[in-house]
Structure 1
Amino acid sequence: MAVSQTNLAWATLLDIGPSEHGGALRLHDRLALALRTTIRDGRLTEGAAVPPSRALAEELGCSRWVVTEAYGQLIAEGFLSARVGSATRVSWSPDASPTRPRARHVPAQTAIRYDLAPGLPDLRAFPRRRWAEAVRAVTGSAVHYDLGLPDPAGHAELRTTVAQYLRRSRGADADTTSVSVCAGVTDGLVRTCRALHARGITDLAMEHPGWRRLRDAATSTGLRVHPVPVDDDGLRVEDLVRTPARVVVVGAAHQFPTGTVLSPRRRARLVRWARETDGFVIEDDYDAEFRYDRHPVAVIQGMEPSRVFLLGSVSKTLSPALGLGWLVAPTAMAQALRSANPVAAAPPVLDQLALATFIERGWYDAHLRAARRRFRSRRDLLIRTLAAQIPQGRVAGTAAGLHVLLHLPDDTDTRGSVRAAAATGLRLTDLDDYRMHRSAERALVLGYGNISDTDIASAVALLREALSSPSTSGPPGTAQSGDDGL
């Protein structure tokens, strides 16, 4: 039977060869040979599923018998394996030999059972049903021009919805024209730094300690980063004044990782600094939705919209997997942002419209109300458990956000404790991971967003064991690291 090679979906894998002439191999033998070759040279890897016999027969333009015969031959030879009710899969690897064990036999690292690392919301509580309903709604209602090339600044409907949300919930001065949709806070920061660099600004200040990812994002645009210390009142503006920076990134509502809130006096001083230096403030509205002792304070951007960029996202409220955030820019910087980011792309339009629908129908506010109740209760439970099991520790940070800071005695080897905990299935984070240099202060950053209430007691028990582990004894800093926060 002649087979056209132009209609094969698997043309890149299968070279079945010419039609049968003068004693050449029959078609099922040629198919078996082609499959065997692709497996031997690694193009079909171990565990990969081959097409169903009916589907491959249609592609080849042959009878299903040809494919089943070829598969049967390779199963007999050990190249394929088949189970009833499951796909036929490759069961051989070119590097399989008695002296070279397969990767799947190598013992895996200890699985993480309890996650006390910061940075994640409660992924178990993601509102799947309502998000799916929002996606279905916009998929059915989106007009044809919504499915064309997207606006790099984001869909106007989401920009308008975000502006309204920020005005009523965060006290921002925002409208459709000032809001851009981006993939998250880091993406928004990169766009902003590019625009500022194009304007001639070369130096930027950041809170210390702080997110390394944001430092890396800023330096990737060519800016020099200057660390500015944080104390109980937030960013030390008097130290900022002594740097050559004309731009500063600040988490005013809830600084990460110290958990402090920028005091009213320093907020006013920071705005005055921006005016005096002809500079800008980049406000990372991190964790602002989660304040448990009182209503969240409004954003600095509402005080001076001509000098403040406002960054936010749904990564800590819904899920980082959505990749949806926003950037509110001063009106005078709108053109500079576009010019400095000519190939910037907004997230997928249907996802943007789904978020707009999710907010407009009140589902986002309802989700946040439930999340605040859950996280407030979980934070209280964690603090009580820490006090009972680790009395030598001291919890710090405002009653807000998704993490606390656990200060420990000066002789604690926090790095060794992190390693010891990981060996038992507990993920921890050392405060030094967010510093640009080592510090004598010993502390752990404990996130409670992505752990269930019922697991907190067990997680803290493992933490207590890790802190008392013999492998963590000795002067702090003697443990291996190789990562000094730079």
Structure 2
Amino acid sequence: MDRAKTAPAEGSIGSDFLQLDVREAPPGGLADWLAGQLRAAVADGRLPVGGRLPASRVLAAELRVSRGVVTEAYQRLIDDGHAAGRGRAGTVVVAAPVLPPAPAPAPPPSKVITPLPGAEVFDAVRAAPARIDLTPGVPDLTAFPRAAWLKAERAVLDDLEPAHFGYGDPRGAPAMRQAVSHWLARNRGIRVDPGEIIVVSGVAQALTLVGEVLRQHGVGTVAVEDPGSLGARQHLHHCGLATPPVPVDDDGLRVADLNAPAVLVTPAHQFPMGVVLGGERRRHLMRWAAEGGIVIEDDYDAEHRYDRAPVPAVRSMLPDVCYTGSVSKLLAPALRVGWLLAPPRFRDDLVAAKRFADLGNAVLAQLVLARLMETGELERQLRVVRARHRRRRDAMIRALATDLPAAVVHGAAAGLHLTVTFEPGVDDVALAAAALAEGVKAQPLSWHRQRPGRPGLVLGYAARTATEIAEGVAILGRVLRAQ
């Protein structure tokens, strides 16, 4: 537009509307300038959602510009979704842009990865930026079966009765508990009545519920594997329970060293060392339980195996076990769906604890997941990701042989992570912090120890490509050599 035809007169101009002054507009850019001013007013709330803009001819007259300038600016707001034309009702603001808050500066890696991690450590690690995330316990999230999930969700919604949208059984939807019962029979050798199953928000909630109930029954101590999951210890500590360490060797938990009323074990794929609880140790554990010991079984990574036959769950041989599992490593941690098998002596109290925790898990996700389990879709998904995870495990083993040749690799036969150990003298916390500064995220093995032991790193491979794995391990090797 020719600016000479639209220039305002000297002195006070036009409307009080947003205190607009067309003299601030660049030559030939009135419509762009006006649209930008209106967007800014929507963003900062001066033009609220539902507010009506002045009629184009009124604003044009007050600003002393052609009506076409105002019409074009309004059309741009309509095109980008800020406003809508409502006929005789005029042009109305319909949406304000969501402006992300300014990101807080990331803490230095030495403040994230510390020798004595607190309860917030995993939140801090997840929030820490990194180009290559080798955090253990994460499956390939790009493989989530979106199409199968949507298909199952549509089928569930088609069949859903209105009553399903109300409050349900705190133990979980009957269809979900039935599906879990069938799944455990097929895949873990566990025969369990659906009435014994409590659907929970992952293993983390199961441990919290069990911890609360054990305290109610006068149990103040739960022995844990060493090395063993820092996260599991934190949940038990939150319940006020002591967690004395019991050593782990190549046959798993050293049951003979147990000196506590209860124990938490990961017998199928011990975290973090990846060993399997041996046959003699299992028999010893069963004898210990028969004498009154309480066994809590976290069936960690049981489905992810590559170079060995499946290992039966302890619960398949010992019914009086608090058994827990989830779909976090099968599908995605964000689903927050798992299960807890409650022994008769604790069942009523565990159901009550779940009821008062949250009244039960969201039902729709349970019904969709149940359908995936019952149609065989979850087994198909497991076969797909197992092959992919195996290739990525192999890529990490090759990279470790090249860039960390002195490291000892543990737990390669199954799972979603490898643990590597180094000779004494390596500071694994400093190594992990330095790696994070270089853009690679890994966990120091010492986080998962209560007793002294060899330093090392716990490295997840399932969620990364072979190229990323090779680059990440190369950086770890370079950082270690620089120590």
TM interval, shorter chain, is 0.7 to 0.9
1:278-427 mapped onto 2 (5 Å cutoff): 278-305=292-319, 307-345=320-358, 346-427=360-441
1:57-96 mapped onto 2 (5 Å cutoff): 57=51, 63-65=52-54, 85=80, 87=82
CA shift, 1:454, in A, is: 2.5
CA shift, 1:409, in A, is: 2.5
CA shift, 1:232, in A, is: 0.7
Contact 2:204/2:232 (8 A) holds in 1: yes
1:115-264 mapped onto 2 (5 Å cutoff): 115-240=133-258, 243=259, 245-264=260-279
Larger Rg: 2
- Please give the per-residue CA displacement for 1:301-345, whole angstroms capped at 9, x wherever unaligned: 11111x211100011111000000000111342212234444133
Cα distance in 2 between the residues matched to 1:185 and 1:92: 35
Contact 1:185/1:312 (8 A) holds in 2: yes
Cα distance in 2 between the residues matched to 1:170 and 1:139: 30
Cα distance change, pair 416–105 in 1 and its aligned pair in 2 (3 A): closer
Q: Does 1:56 align with 2:70?
A: no
Cα distance change, pair 86–339 in 1 and its aligned pair in 2 (3 A): closer
Q: How many residues align?
A: 401
Cα distance change, pair 54–89 in 1 and its aligned pair in 2 (3 A): closer
Question: 3-state DSSP class of the match of 2:420?
Answer: strand
Question: 3-state DSSP class of the match of 1:112?
Answer: coil
Instruction: Structure 2: state its 5+ residue gaps.
Output: 1-14, 20-39, 64-75, 83-94, 109-127
Tell me the amino acid that sits aligned with residue 265 of structure 1: E
Contact 1:48/1:89 (8 A) holds in 2: yes
Same amino acid, percent of matched pairs: 39
Cα distance change, pair 327–104 in 1 and its aligned pair in 2 (3 A): closer
Question: 3-state DSSP class of the match of 2:222?
Answer: strand
CA shift, 1:92, in A, is: 11
- Please give the per-residue CA displacement for 1:19-38, whole angstroms capped at 9, x wherever unaligned: xxxxxxx99679xxxxxxxx
Question: 3-state DSSP class of the match of 2:224?
Answer: strand
**Which stretch of the first structure deviates more once superposed, 156-165 or 341-350?**
341-350
Tell me the amino acid that sits aligned with residue 450 of structure 1: A
Cα distance change, pair 177–390 in 1 and its aligned pair in 2 (3 A): same
Question: 3-state DSSP class of the match of 2:356?
Answer: coil
Question: 3-state DSSP class of the match of 1:166?
Answer: helix
Contact 2:268/2:277 (8 A) holds in 1: yes
Cα distance change, pair 253–107 in 1 and its aligned pair in 2 (3 A): closer
CA RMSD of aligned residues (A): 3.1
Contact 1:247/1:280 (8 A) holds in 2: yes
Contact 1:359/1:365 (8 A) holds in 2: yes
Q: Does 1:265 align with 2:280?
A: yes
Cα distance in 1 between the residues matched to 2:395 and 2:476: 15
CA shift, 1:410, in A, is: 2.1
**Which stretch of the first structure deviates more once superposed, 121-130 or 177-186?**
121-130
Contact 1:154/1:181 (8 A) holds in 2: yes
- Please give the per-residue CA displacement for 1:412-462, whole angstroms capped at 9, x wherever unaligned: 23222212211221111110111235x351211111011112322211211
Cα distance change, pair 440–332 in 1 and its aligned pair in 2 (3 A): closer
Tell me the amino acid that sits aligned with residue 149 of structure 2: W
Tell me the amino acid that sits aligned with residue 265 of structure 2: V
Cα distance in 2 between the residues matched to 1:107 and 1:66: 47
Cα distance change, pair 324–405 in 1 and its aligned pair in 2 (3 A): same
Cα distance change, pair 90–308 in 1 and its aligned pair in 2 (3 A): closer
Question: 3-state DSSP class of the match of 1:468?
Answer: helix
Cα distance change, pair 234–107 in 1 and its aligned pair in 2 (3 A): closer
Cα distance in 2 between the residues matched to 1:92 and 1:310: 45
Question: 3-state DSSP class of the match of 1:334?
Answer: helix
Instruction: Structure 1: state its 5+ residue gaps.
Output: 1-25, 31-45, 58-62, 74-81, 94-101, 473-486
Contact 1:389/1:464 (8 A) holds in 2: yes
Cα distance in 2 between the residues matched to 1:443 and 1:113: 21
Residue 23 of structure 1 is matched in structure 2 by none
